[in-house]
Amino acid sequence: MSAPRVTFQRLAHGRGLPLPRYMTPGAAGMDLPAAVEPDEEFIIEPGAIEVVPTGLAIAIPAGFEGQVRPRSGLAFSRGIGIINAPGTIDSDYRGEIKIALINLGPEPVGIRRGDRVAQLIIAPVAQAQLVEADELPPTERGDGGFGHTGMKP
């Protein structure tokens, strides 16, 4: 499969920020920046959810989606996650990419302009053909749900 062509539009409040890019040759995701006001710190209090703008809009080709995921460093060191992780950007969405961050840590966290606050993964998707049936084909697992295999090996 060839790499999909993804187009970014830098919005007015995103000017001067770098476009997303893969930080290493083996990176699955590209980092998304915070497009908060210059010289201001955007504070996320413990337990709070705040929407952070990126200053970017995107055009993803049909058959693909954008998955917005937390950055492991922010999650581990500062307790910052994404409330709807992974967030989905549909191929027909053309609005600004915004990140709903949550502070799960004990201290307020400041976000500054250009901070890399999330990562974006472009992934293929398929729309399923839906079929209604009176019964589903059986499997060994059946309807075993949460914890049905137990905690011990």
Chain mean pLDDT for the chain: 93
In this prediction, residues 133-140 reach a mean pLDDT of 94
pLDDT tens digit sequence for 1-20: 688 999 999 999 999 999 99
In this prediction, residues 49-56 reach a mean pLDDT of 97
Max intra-chain CA distance, the chain: 61
Task: Please give the domain boundaries of the chain with CATH numbers for all domains.
Answer: 7-124 (2.70.40.10)
Task: For residue 74, give the DSSP letter.
Answer: H
**Distance of alpha carbon 126 from alpha carbon 22, whole angstroms:** 25
What backbone phi and psi angles, to 5 degrees, belong to 72? -60, -35
CB of 49 closer than 8 Å to CB of 101: yes
